[in-house]
Chain A
Amino acid sequence: EPEVTQTPSHQVTQMGQEVILRCVPISNHLYFYWYRQILGQKVEFLVSFYNNEISEKSEIFDDQFSVERPDGSNFTLKIRSTKLEDSAMYFCASSEETGRRQPQHFGDGTRLSIL
């Protein structure tokens, strides 16, 4: 069964450094999402992306965050200047159509640790 893949599985970065989290969504999917889960807390929405532009973003997704679909297969989340509070599990998800009608499928996540 097709799946969403994320790399790396674990990223350790010094505070203030830039980090890029990578995702390969399911090939025929058109909608892409990033969520995060701080340890012990709920999964939180960050951003949705469709047709090469951001559809919606949360309050968390401020100017230090950006997303990109650099080619036909990858979807990336960049954090420009990491903070301690950015430490979390970051999940990429994709759906075939808008999430109103089709389920979102999640990857296994990237655990980001900021030192």
Chain B
Amino acid sequence: KQEVTQIPAALSVPEGENLVLNCSFTDSAIYNLQWFRQDPGKGLTSLLLIQSSQREQTSGRLNASLDKSSGRSTLYIAASQPGDSATYLCAVFYNQGGKLIFGQGTELSVKP
């Protein structure tokens, strides 16, 4: 079964810390993996897309890595800020099926 799991479910850090969010998936036959940000009551904002042939993608203070063979991705956030507080979702586009499979998200709180 195609599943995506995110650990931890919630994370609270002081402002300025570097942090890592984890995502694991059960099947290595993927096309790509996408990281999203979701603010309370809002939609999903696409942060980064990593194709299966790539190892990492960077955007500003965000860096996402992909290890397809082990079924893992990480989202690294450098120098966290209170404005980074949100739920971060990982989603996988598997070879089988034309859809994104989502993890349950990590709720991040960055304290001033």
Contact = CB atoms under 8 A, between A and B. Distances in A.
Contacts of A12: none
Contact of A56 (B45, B49, B98): B98
Contact of B44 (A48, A98, A106): A106
A35 B102 CA distance: 10
B65 interface: no
Interface residues of B, number: 24
Contacts of A105: 46
A43 B89 contact: yes
A103 B49 contact: yes
Interface string B21-52: 00000000001101010000111111001010
B100 interface: yes
Interface in B75-112: 89, 91, 93, 97-105
Contacts of A86: none
Contacts of A91: 43-44
Contact of B98 (A43, A48, A106): A48
A103 B34 contact: yes
A108 B104 CA distance: 18
A106 B99 contact: no
Taking residues whose C-beta sits less than 8 angstroms from the other chain, chain A's interface range is 20 to 34
A107 B45 CA distance: 8
A55 B97 CA distance: 9
A76 B17 CA distance: 43
Given A42-B103, A44-B102, A100 B43 contact: no
A91 to B, nearest CB: 6
Interface string A87-102: 0000101000011111
Interface of A: 4, 6, 33, 35, 41-45, 48, 55-56, 58, 91, 93, 98-109, 111
22 contacts: A4-B43, A35-B100, A41-B104, A43-B44, A43-B89, A48-B98, A48-B99, A56-B98, A58-B99, A91-B43, A98-B98, A99-B99, A100-B31, A100-B93, A100-B98, A103-B46, A103-B49, A105-B46, A106-B45, A107-B43, A108-B43, A111-B41
